[in-house]
Structure 1
Amino acid sequence: MKRRDFIHLSGMGMGALLTAGIPATGIPVLGNSVVPEYLLEPGVDVATKKRFADIALNAAKSKGATYTDVRIGRYLQQFMFTREMKVQNIVNAESYGVGIRVIANGTWGFAATSNVTPDAIARCAETAVAIAKANSKFQTEPVVLAPQKGVGDVTWKTPITKNAFEIPVQQKIELLMKVNSEAMKNGAGFVTSNLFFVNEQKYFASTDGTYADQDIHRVWPTFTVTAVDKAAGKFKTRDALSSPMGMGYEYLDGLASEKIAAPNGLVGYRNSYDMVEDAILAAKQAKEKLTAKTVQPGKYDLVLDPNHLGLTIHESVGHPTELDRVLGYEANYAGTSFATLDKWKTKKFNYGSKLVNIVADKLQPHSLGKVGYDDEGVPSKEWDLIKDGILVNYQAIRDQAAILGEKESNGCCYADNWDSVQFQRMPNVSLKHGNEKRSVFDMIKGVDKGIYIIGRGSYSIDQQRYNFQFGGQLFYEIKNGELVGMLDDVAYQSNTQEFWNSCAQLCDKDDYRMFGSFFDGKGQPSQVSAVSHGSATTRFNGVNVINTGRKI
């Protein structure tokens, strides 16, 4: 038995043991369970990947495909779950295989295999063509791809300094135990903490002449602390203010130079994160929430921290500007969009105030969406979605570009695994920072009646991504330019157009930070993707705030 096979089979047995009794986290795990050492085993070399890809390209062409792309993927995951001073679960998983997509008779076909051998790859390519030809009987119009010039042999790697998979499991668990211990010392009655690490080793080849080898890393540390008032029968929670990032383990170094000062002793983290420091503060704030004053409903100016505003951007701008949603392709699962083509065609649709400039990209350093090439071989780029408050574009891939009269794809096509077909997914969608020098302290000084909101909370938004309600983690009342105390039971309600037109002030680049979604779901069958949303602290005037704690 080969060493790789032995480690793999041993890992399956260990994985079965570790996953017994796993909490219902809803976290998607791809592939087979393996031991941690297996995650460091080298994958197939680039020359072999190219040989395998050419086998697929040639086999598909011989059966009548006019276009073919091949993705050879090795997807690695390590997830850790703890509660108080106990480890609940450790997941180590690997998924490895080949996905082949073709156009034959003007129609898409897709097939995949985990048997990565020359014969199996050729059969898989032939199956993809057969599926395309069968589907073509029902195709009314042929697929038209935006042209894409091949770039030859290229490589791209996430610029990490510490590979998270090389850090011993014991060291990671010790970090989580310290997080939990310190939170409990400072008032938490309960605490859960988690680490998520992902490595995508992806090879893409197409008949356009691109052979792209990519090594992508992502990390997400998070926790939830709970403070309890037994006498009153109440409890309050505070989640981590971390953001998932396209980085290695260096994100957890917590370098002081990467912190941004905020009111009330809060810290904004950028490109590094001190998990223990945040857990200590979270425990104290969860206790403070137990006695916080309930909010009086009404109109308030809202000062929204980037760790909060990112989710609002995601739901009210990111999703409604996905072209497949606009066209109704997502209607059955996740809804449509109010930002319809007729609004875009006028080039006058007022999405927000003139301060609102929102860009889509897969370029921001350390972002979850940053890659060299998408899953159609399109180089990463940046483009405007909303410019000076006006809707100017959508998120489109190669077979959608012609609908908009565009000559090239935006490069936002993605599949979450080798056995999933790639389709249009959200890139990073970010609000540009202001150009005038302004800190969050400066912004608060200019607010007479307002609320400063930090962190992601509960939310609700309709199927057209128009009417919504958002909560948060922490709420501070602002009176006459000063923070006067913590509030509770806060949520704001608005519609997308009204909300973004109330955008009145932006902090500058020194306050710019990213929020992220590590497991953003979409499609049928459902797939997940990771995406970041950048912004600086932003002020919105006259927003309707409700009290979520009042009984009806």
Structure 2
Amino acid sequence: MKRRDFLQWTSMGLGATMLSGIPLVGKSVPLDAPWYTVDTAIKKQLADIALNAARAKGATYTDVRIGRYLNQYVITREDKVQNIVNTESYGMGIRVIANGSWGFAATDKLDKDSIANAATLAVAIARENARLLTEPVQLAPQKGYGEVSWKTPIEKNAFEVPIKEKVDLLLHVNDAAIKAGADYMNSYLFLVNEQKYFASSDGSYIDQDIHRIWPYFSLTKTDKKTGKFESRDALSAPVGMGWEYMIPREEDKIKGISTLYKKRYDMVEDATQGAKQIVEKMAAKSVEPGKYDLILDPSHLWLTIHESVGHPTELDRVLGYEANFAGTSFLTLDKWESKKFNFGSKLVNIKADKTQVGSLGAVGYDDEGVGTQEWDLIKDGVLVNYQVIRDQAHIIGLPQSQGCCYADGWNDVQFQRMANVSLQPGKQTLSPADMIKNVEKGIYIIGSSSFSIDQQRYNFQFSGQLYYEIKQGKIVGMLNDVAYQANTQEFWNSCSAIADKSDYRLGGSFFDGKGQPIQSSAVSHGSSTARFDKVNVINTARKLG
């Protein structure tokens, strides 16, 4: 059960069977294996062995994470099942402070001697690390919670749904897309269950049961005469929910150019619509480059938020800790200290939130045993805060951590990861249709696609799935080959309208990588439809020069 036992999935193509770059974690288990959780009393006994052993060896602080991680992936193509993967990973990670420095060790052998040996090793590593310290670790104070628990509020556990039911759904989705005009169709279900137990020398014993689900597809249509092809991916949002997410309700439907759902997802309808839309997309005219007012749907805007707001407000990036791999941030400490850095227009209010029900990042407590919370990052267009964990809080004068520490496995060291970061809805009653009426020359963009952004999260380019031309307040047809370019500050200062909370929806990343060795986390980003004025649009099909 080695956490780093990754299989790299081949890139998706006509003959491919898997998505690219998604890790398979742990050992394979039978597809019909029953779902269960480990008894909390047993986990407490195991955690106490580690806590006592570390203290006996001189640790001044210890935390223990016992994790059982379940992953299930169902992968289909047209009328065939291409792969079904069921994995389990189970073990313990022990983190300590000794001589003012961090040390970490892990084991998948959960007997008394193996746990005690791992705790001893963690302390020994901390003592060696201390020889290189310039200053000791400063942990923000954290009162122990005692014995507490938290569960994702699901209605139906997706791991208990028979594999046949999942396969039947995906094949039905594929069939609907082919009948509606698609030539090729891949569909997927990704399920994750994290059963995590945290204990610390602060006096916390926290048991959590976390569920996430992501239904996804990619469909393609080709012109056999010209060789031209178009594709459209699912507009689904990965969520922190159970199987109920796959049971659509009429009251959740948002009707417009592309029928979308807020709290539930109709995969068949999305695939059927998508197949019809790529037929239209094949005939769509190529965009004329220039300045346009953009109306960005939440299914698109989440990715722009993720890259241009979520990442640059991570304090470890700001401090340069991620410079070697993931980059730094243009939101340096002097901008925050000024208390007046103009990040965006006064309409722009962006919050970090680890408590939002249904989001990917929702947990009761982070992987340092800190109760989760909500806080402002951008307030009325001004940078007011970052995302911070326990050993960073003192750097910006915070009395406690914000609860955004995470590790994607029991044998990974927890570190600062992105909270759910979301643009808050507008305060005035405003729908996307109302917004479009006031646009003379614009583009309405739905769905996320390719992007590029520099290492400081400042200069960027984004494209989408669907583009609709707006003239004189009306949608006049579909466009193609659209991408927009801006820098982060310029872009968010061009925000001139945000729809109200009735349009608010989540998007998100199921596999967001960071760190060395790389770890993956899941994070949501919410927004209502928003307008951005006079943004530079380029034609992606035209060659420069």
The answer as to 2:269 corresponding to 1:269 is no
Determine the structure 2 residue equivalent to 1:483. 475
Q: 2:30 is matched with which residue? A: 35
Secondary structure of the 1:337 match is: coil
Q: How does 1:141-152 map to 2 (within 5 A)?
A: 141-152=135-146
CA displacement, residues 27-54 of structure 1 (integer Å, 9 cap, x when unaligned): 11211011123351x3321011111111
SS at structure 1 position matched to 2:55: helix
Alignment partner, residue 58 of structure 2:
64
CA distance in 2, matches of 1:527, 1:487: 37
Paired position in structure 2 for 1:328: 320
Residue type of the alignment partner of 1:364: Q
Which amino acid is the alignment partner of residue 209 of structure 1?
G
State the 1:231 CA deviation.
1.4
Mapped pair 1:160 → 2:154: yes
Aligned counterpart for 2:181 among listed residues 158, 163, 187: 187
**The one of 105, 112, 126 aligned to 1:118:** 112
Q: How far did 1:232 drift?
A: 1.9
Quote the Cα distance in structure 2 between the aligned partners of 1:450 and 1:22: 39
Q: 2:20 aligns with which of 7, 25, 35?
A: 25
**SS at structure 1 position matched to 2:215:** strand
Q: 1:33-112 to 2 correspondence within 5 Å?
A: 33-38=28-33, 40=35, 42-112=36-106
CA offset at residue 23 of structure 1?
3.1
Q: Deviations over 1:389-409 (max 9, x none)?
A: 000100000000000011000
Alignment of 1:146-545 (within 5 A): 146-262=140-256, 264=257, 266-545=258-537
- CA distance, structure 2, for counterparts of residue 253 and residue 541 of structure 1: 37
Does the 8 Å CA contact 1:218/1:244 hold for their aligned counterparts? yes
* Alpha-carbon separation, structure 2, partners of 1:280 and 1:356: 35
What is the aligned length? 531
Residue-by-residue CA offset, 1:466-501 (whole Å, 9 max, x unaligned):
000000000000001100000000000000000000
Distance 1:83 1:177 in 2: 8
- Alpha-carbon distance in 1 for matches of 2:344, 2:336: 14
- How many angstroms does 1:258 deviate by? 1.1
In 2, the alpha carbon distance for the partners of 1:141 and 1:544 equals: 47
Q: What SS class does the counterpart of residue 497 from structure 1 fall into?
A: helix
Deviation, 1:22, is 5.2
- Amino acid aligned to 2:520: V
Corresponding residue SS for 2:129: helix
Give the structure 1 partner of residue 10 of structure 2: none
Matches of 2:201 and 2:378 in 1, distance apart? 34
Q: Output the TM-score relative to the length of structure 2.
A: 0.96
Q: What letter corresponds to residue 97 of structure 2 in structure 1?
A: I
Distance in structure 1 (CA, Å) of the matches to 2:377 and 2:105: 33
Cα deviation 1:339-395 (Å, max 9, x = unaligned): 000111100100000000000010111000000000000001001100000001000
Q: Offset at 1:268?
A: 2.1
Please give the alpha-carbon distance, in whole angstroms, between the structure 2 residues aligned to 1:80 and 1:116: 31
Mapped contact 1:310–1:514 kept (Cα < 8 A): yes
Amino acid across the alignment from 2:170: L
* Deviation, structure 1 residue 24: 5.4
Partners of 1:410 and 1:485 in 2: CA distance: 46
> Per the alignment, in what secondary structure is the counterpart of residue 50 of structure 1?
helix
The residue aligned with 1:5 is none
Q: Which has the higher helix share?
A: 1
Cα deviation for residue 287 of structure 1 reads 1.1
- 2:44 is paired with a residue whose SS is helix
1:57/1:70 contact within 8 Å kept: yes
Say whether the 8 Å CA contact 1:228–1:287 is kept in structure 2. Answer: no
Structure-2 separation of matches of 1:104 and 1:51: 23
Displacement over 2 Å in runs of 4+:
21-25, 36-39
| Residue identity opposite 2:452 in structure 1 | S
Per-residue deviation, 1:85: 1.0
Deviation at 1:25, TM superposition (A): 2.2
The 1-side partners of 2:472 and 2:221 are apart by 31
**Ranges in structure 1 where 5+ consecutive residues have no aligned partner:** 1-7, 13-20
In 2, Cα distance between equivalents of 1:465 and 1:516: 18
Deviations 1:168-193 (CA, angstroms, capped at 9, x unpaired): 10110011101111100111010110
Deviation (angstroms), 1:517:
0.3
User: Which amino acid in the other structure matches residue 25 of structure 1?
Assistant: S
Give the Cα separation in 1 of the matches to 2:227 and 2:70.
43
- Secondary structure in 1 aligned to 2:169? helix
Distance 1:43 1:399 in 2: 31
The alignment's C-alpha RMSD in Å is 1.1
Cα distance in 1 for partners of 2:431, 2:540 equals 30
**Per the alignment, do residues 445 and 24 of structure 1 end up closer, same or farther by CA in structure 2, a change over 3 Å counting?**
closer
Amino acid corresponding to residue 485 of structure 1 in structure 2: G
Helix, strand or coil for the counterpart of 1:473?
strand
Structure 2 unaligned regions, length at least 5? 6-15
Deviations 1:297-320 (A, max 9, x none): 000000000010000000000000
